Structure 1
């Protein structure tokens, strides 16, 4: 199990590094939005490229941070029941959620998102706006990347959940034997 836990830590490290890179997009996004607002409001200059740049940076930020958010447990979660359960039962819920919901979701969406990005690349898709940004496939490729990073995060959480279940299984049987 120690090899699998090392794999989990390696995945977490990769996701953290990519999340930090993605967070740099936030700085760019803030700069582009401020520049866009100021030039539109005070200079009556509008730019389609700036607006498209905003959503491109936003996409990079979200997709590179998605897996890290799951690993760090900062994603939206409804914990009405889960928080009242033992660590082992929480691990079971996490394991089943990953296996039955998260991984199938990532497989289906990842497959279709890859096809979506590949089609865009093959067609040399550009912005529909005359003065928009080129290379639309590059931003569309962020969607499957984000989904695959989420799947990696799911694999990491599966490993951690299995470790919790297996390590607490021995302590449960020891505690039950002592109670008899």
Structure 2
């Protein structure tokens, strides 16, 4: 169980680290956009859209990594004082009844939307915008896959805690 989780975790961290490299270009794009707009009084649609593309790609890659590192949002009022097994029960139930259905619903609703976009090679509605909207929309499916894989590893690790009463070796 833990061997499978380790393999998935390595893939999740690798994807996260690769896509985290887009943080610097994202900051530079935001800076360039602000300079062009407020200093030089001009703007470029493609520059504004590039910020959205970069942000979407970063969010896709880092969601699974955040789950793996246990840095996701959680209401810790009672969770922080619970035993390891009780935390594992909460995590398993939350994963099975909240996260997994969310991912399935997002995949199910996004797939036709993305397929339509690819079929028509959808581009920006703006004349000088980025012509690859279909690639941007594909990020929704990539999000489901990457977070779904991280969810499987997370669930395997929590099931290990439930069965053995102790954390894994990694």
User: CA deviation digits over 1:140-165, x for unaligned, max 9?
Assistant: 10111112211111111110011101
Instruction: Decide which structure has the larger Cα Rg and report it.
Output: 1
Match of 1:89 among 86, 89, 98: 86
Task: Using the TM superposition, name which of 102-111 and 34-43 deviates more.
Answer: 34-43
Match of 1:24 among 17, 21, 26: 21
Confirm whether residue 131 of structure 1 aligns to residue 131 of structure 2. no
The alpha-carbon deviation at position 13 of structure 1 amounts to: 0.8
The alpha-carbon deviation at position 92 of structure 1 amounts to: 0.8
Number of matched pairs: 166
Confirm whether residue 76 of structure 1 aligns to residue 73 of structure 2. yes
Distance (whole Å) between structure 2 residues aligned to residue 144 and residue 159 of structure 1:
22
The alpha-carbon deviation at position 133 of structure 1 amounts to: 0.4
Distance (whole Å) between structure 2 residues aligned to residue 50 and residue 124 of structure 1:
20
Q: Which has the higher contact order (CA 8 A, sep 6+)?
A: 2
Computed over aligned residues only, the root mean square deviation of the Cα atoms, in angstroms, reads 1.2
Which 5+ residue runs of structure 1 have no aligned equivalent?
A: 170-180
The alpha-carbon deviation at position 125 of structure 1 amounts to: 0.6
Report the TM-score when normalising by structure 2: 0.93
The alpha-carbon deviation at position 27 of structure 1 amounts to: 0.8
The alpha-carbon deviation at position 44 of structure 1 amounts to: 2.1
Distance (whole Å) between structure 1 residues aligned to residue 22 and residue 110 of structure 2:
21
The aligned residue for residue 65 of structure 1 is: 62
The alpha-carbon deviation at position 5 of structure 1 amounts to: 0.6
The alpha-carbon deviation at position 45 of structure 1 amounts to: 2.2
Report the TM-score when normalising by structure 1: 0.88
Distance (whole Å) between structure 2 residues aligned to residue 97 and residue 41 of structure 1:
45
